[in-house]
Amino acid sequence: MRTLRYIPIWVSLCLIATGCGPDSHSFRMNGSINGMSGGDLFIYNLDDENGRLDTIHIKDGEFRYAGAISQPTIYTIVFPNALEQDIVVQGGDEITYKAKANDLRNFEVGGNEENEILNTFRRETKGVNKDKEKAIAKDFINMHPSSLAAIALFSRFFVNDDIESQDCKTLLQTLMKQQPKNTYLMKISGEQKKLQAGKTGTEVPQLALETKKGKKVDIKDKSKPWTLVFFWATWHSNGYEFLNSARSIARDNEDKLHCVGISLDSQIYQWEGVIKPDSLIIDHCCDGMAWETKAVQELGVTTLPMFFLIDSNHKIVASGSTKEDMTDEVRKKVK
């Protein structure tokens, strides 16, 4: 379950107390759970980046809840056993919720067409195994790509299961064609791009790099057919050994390998003295930002040292974190 925090519930109390119907920026939900006399449930909004959480109180098997929304969205109810249920809400909705305590997975929600789509999905998947349920979810998403119900199924069965799977990527493209401004879909798209950063077979991004002397470094420069980019730091236990291996590689392949070293040192003066002998064979870069260096995020660097070998088509053909791997990959590919 996502990281969550409590929020004030004055909206809920106000609407319930006054009995007024919800306006275009609020909704109300009346629910009953047969066989559950009391207890607390939690509810959160899928679009809320802060992960804020509210509480639903059950008394005599019934509950009432009201909330404020700025746009149609998906709310998720969370039970004490961690079971999650998705509900689509729109401004002005009067949502009805019905479930049985001994069969919570087959709840029914009324109030709008989006929830009817989800009701139909639950009926069609009742009793099927997980793989079949996921296959049916995929069909529903493709049948209703402009609906929030499709996004609820996408999040539940594909994003939460494996955000890097091909099905997840393909369905995201389908959904974004119909809902290009949906903030949740844009967020997932950004997360997928971050996870793909630096992977073998992907195109290396254009990095904004500069040497100590102000020389602009272009890792997509085609003056040499190969590029080796390595990340290191003087403070790392293997930093100097990795640097020395990179130096040997650069000297041995000077005519066909562009070698770029990116240091994660925050104390630049420590780095400057070490890289002085390399000005002719390695383009050394350091902005003093350490792990906040933009190239770290753009290439998905999570450990030091780290190297990326890039071919003439700007594709990453190898990566790794040891000097032995770096030497072997260059020896095998840079001929």
DSSP string, 15-41: HHHH-PPP-TTEEEEEEEEET--EEEE
Q: In what helix (H) or strand (E) does residue 71 lie, and over which residues does it extend?
A: none
Query: Is 228 contained in some domain?
Result: yes
243 with 169, same domain: the answer is no
Q: Which residue has the higher pLDDT, 71 or 98?
A: 98
User: Angle at the Cα of 98 (from 25 to 149), degrees rounded to 5?
Assistant: 55
Query: Is 242 contained in some domain?
Result: yes
Give the CATH number for residue 326. Answer: 3.40.30.10
Structure tokens at 212: 């100590």
101 with 138, same domain: the answer is no
- Residue 6 pLDDT > 70, yes or no? no
279 with 316, same domain: the answer is yes
Last residue of a domain, which of 165, 196, 227?
196
Query: Is 203 contained in some domain?
Result: no
pLDDT confidence of residue 270: 86
Q: pLDDT grade, residue 12 (50/70/90)? A: very low
Q: pLDDT grade, residue 50 (50/70/90)? A: low
Last residue of a domain, which of 110, 125, 150?
110
pLDDT tens sequence across 289-316: 999 998 998 898 988 999 999 999 999 9
167 with 220, same domain: the answer is no
| Structural domain containing residue 40 | 1-110
pLDDT confidence of residue 164: 84
Query: Is 39 contained in some domain?
Result: yes
Query: Is 168 contained in some domain?
Result: yes
Number of domains in the chain: 3
pLDDT tens sequence across 167-213: 999 999 999 999 999 989 999 988 888 777 778 888 888 888 989 88
Query: Is 167 contained in some domain?
Result: yes
Distance CA 130, CA 140 (A): 15
Q: What is the pTM of this model?
A: 0.66
List Cα–Cα distances, 67 to 25, 95, 99, 111, 150, in angstroms. Answer: 9, 11, 21, 15, 22
Last residue of a domain, which of 196, 225, 252?
196
166 with 262, same domain: the answer is no
Q: Which residues lie below 8 Å from residue 252, measured CB to CB, with a gap of 6+?
A: none
Task: Kindly report which listed range (8-22, 59-73, 157-171) carries the lowest average pLDDT score.
Answer: 8-22
**Among 196, 202, 224, CA closest to 283:** 224
93 with 145, same domain: the answer is no
123 with 89, same domain: the answer is no
pLDDT confidence of residue 10: 41
Distance CA 171, CA 90 (A): 23
Query: Is 179 contained in some domain?
Result: yes
87 with 172, same domain: the answer is no
- Residue 145 pLDDT > 80, yes or no? yes
Q: What percentage of residues in the chain have a pLDDT greater than 90?
A: 70
Mean pLDDT of 216-227: 90
- Residue 284 pLDDT > 60, yes or no? yes
pLDDT confidence of residue 1: 39
Give the CATH number for residue 16. Answer: 2.60.40.1120
Q: Which residue has the higher pLDDT, 15 or 28?
A: 28
Q: What are phi and psi of 321, to 5 degrees?
A: -130, 15
- Residue 279 pLDDT > 80, yes or no? no
**Among 279, 234, 241, CA closest to 260:** 279
Mean pLDDT of 45-68: 88
Query: Is 204 contained in some domain?
Result: no
The answer to whether the beta carbons of residues 16 and 64 sit under 8 Å apart is yes
The answer to whether the beta carbons of residues 65 and 31 sit under 8 Å apart is yes
152 with 163, same domain: the answer is yes
Q: pLDDT grade, residue 21 (50/70/90)? A: low
Amino acid identity at 278: D
Q: How many CB atoms lie within 10 A of CB 190?
A: 10
106 with 121, same domain: the answer is no
pLDDT tens sequence across 79-102: 999 899 999 999 999 999 999 999
Pairing of strands 84-89, 73-78: antiparallel
- Residue 241 pLDDT > 90, yes or no? yes
pLDDT confidence of residue 18: 45
Mean pLDDT of 127-134: 95
233 with 118, same domain: the answer is no
167 with 214, same domain: the answer is no
List Cα–Cα distances, 40 to 43, 54, 214, 233, 311, in angstroms. Answer: 10, 10, 61, 51, 57
